[in-house]
Chain A
Amino acid sequence: MTAAAAAGPAEVLATVGLTARYGSIEALAPTDMHVEDGELVAVLGPNGAGKSTLLRALMGLVTNGGTVRFRGRPLPRRDPVAVAASGVVLVPEGRGIFGPMTVAENLELGAYRLGRDKAEFERRWTRVFDLFPRLKERLGQVAGSMSGGEQQMLAIGRALMADPKVLLLDEPSLGLAPRVTAEILETLHRLNQGGLPVILVEQKAPLALKLAKRAYLLSVGRIVATIDPREITSYDDIAKHYFA
């Protein structure tokens, strides 16, 4: 055990002065944030605040600057494949499932990096169905023909097939019925309780704050506040930023 781990929860993933730009427009001001072992961190903010951009910059999907540190080592800056292979896995906005392929194929592709380790594949495969029993009934179904909630479950299941060391989610509740959202967030809670660090980007702040240990509030491309959910008595402070 390292000294840091002995002293307390260790930093798993951190951004140091991470920026993002689209052409000549700066979409994300230098941003410092981090997630520690076993933590669920929420990133909140109104539409267009730069929440997705933060995740995309972190993964190296957009032109970015600064550093992303993963377990103390810098991650490659413009190489999403390498970032994903290192265990930082993003469930993107809009889910990004392979619509014309079957549920089984989608899940198999999640474990693309695993290679031919049958036993490990089985372990991940069972874990996914343990969390999302509904996917098991749909294995042969074309993924794009499922409901939005099921597609979101598949997207998360596929990410879990990669055995992520940190799981990033971009608005998993988008376009879903409240009941389905609750079900998915409950699963995320379970995963997090199992020790998986999670960064959850959400527009629906109250939902995310129920699960989060810490929350960053983003507005116009920068972090404007770090929130401890336990200290929140009213949502007025947050609302202020939303309507700023």
Chain B
Amino acid sequence: MGSLSYLPQILVSGLGIGCVYGLIGIGFCVIYNASGIVNFAQGAFVMLGGMVTFVLMQRAGLPLPVAAVIAIAGVAGLGVVVERLVVRPLWNRNATMFVMILATLAAQIVVERSTLLLVGDQPKTLPMFTDRPPLMLAGVAISYQLLWIVGCSLAVVGLLALFFRTTRTGKAMRAVAIDREAAALQGIPVSRMLALAFALSAALGAIGGILITPTQFTAFDIGVPFAISGFIAAIVGGFGRPFGAFLGGLTLGVIQSIAIVSFGAGLKNVAALSVLLVFLFIRPSGILGPAK
């Protein structure tokens, strides 16, 4: 049993990883709302965010911000490819949820294995965005990377809220989430909104992946654990509620880091899945309640 005397420190690092889970969770919600599909290829986008950035910096010599932006755009594009190639044909055939989940999992494996073939199995990492010793605040060490993670995540969530609330396209995406048929009857291009949802959700995953990589590492197979955590975040928040998912991510991140300190890192996933079970038993509609 580890010591909980570092509680503030634990909370701080939990919030960092929680933000990333939150971004991934929002990605799940955005696609689910647009289509009713649970996209398990989400983890591949997270892995690719860090991986593509690494490759662009390493092999093309690009500076981090440029590499990151290209990686996010590229992964968003890949999101659309997955939608067109994997999801759309099945959707048009009214495939069941089960088939859809399997298909997106297959897409995840294809991306994962292609990455293994292309860049090998060695873990890679990215430099800290700001390479300075951590700030000390009342005995709590706050790394600059943590500030980047929290800052960027909040900015992304804020921009997303603005997008859904004020733009024509954002409102149309919400309309599709509420009632796909009614949206189509207003001439809203429902299928384009689905492609957009995949692009958005892939970009969110990539951003999360890029932000977290400097604090740990990335490798071809890190996607699935992140996808599972993001999925749990989405459920804890109330599936289909993007901002609930972000809260869910923070909750999960904090509980996970408390568990790591208390019981050891080996029980990290046990903690995450326990959170899932507790919520499914006690409050299956999540923190914010069901979406519709």
Contacts and interface: CB of A to CB of B under 8 A. Distances in A.
Contact of B171 (A61, A92, A96, A101): A101
Contacts of B186: 84, 89, 109-110, 112-113, 158-159, 162
Interface string B171-211: 11011001101111111111100000000000000000000
B175 A101 contact: yes
Given A81-B188, A109-B172, A112-B172, A99 B178 contact: yes
A96 B179 contact: yes
Interface in A13-36: none
A143 to B, nearest CB: 10
A100 interface: yes
Interface string B200-227: 0000000000000000000000000000
B254 to A, nearest CB: 29
B181 A61 contact: yes
A59 B183 CA distance: 13
A68 to B, nearest CB: 15
A101 B178 contact: yes
Contacts of B179: 96, 98
A11 interface: no
How big is chain B's contact interface, by range? 10 to 19
B188 A80 contact: no
Given A98-B174, A99-B178, A81 B184 contact: yes
Residue among B178, B187, B191 facing the most chain A CB atoms (10 A cut-off): B187
Given A105-B171, A108-B168, A112-B188, A92 B178 contact: no
B184 A108 contact: no
A101 B187 contact: no
A90 B172 CA distance: 18
A92 B182 contact: yes
Contacts of B190: 81
Residue among B171, B174, B182 facing the most chain A CB atoms (10 A cut-off): B182
Nearest to A96: B182
A98 B187 contact: no
Interface in A167-221: none
Contacts of A99: 178
Contact of A92 (B175, B181, B187, B189): B181
A156 interface: no
A152 to B, nearest CB: 14
A85 interface: yes
15 contacts: A80-B181, A80-B184, A80-B185, A84-B184, A92-B185, A98-B175, A98-B178, A99-B178, A101-B178, A105-B171, A109-B186, A109-B188, A112-B168, A113-B186, A159-B186
Interface of A: 59, 61, 80-81, 84-85, 89-90, 92, 96-101, 105, 108-110, 112-113, 158-159, 162
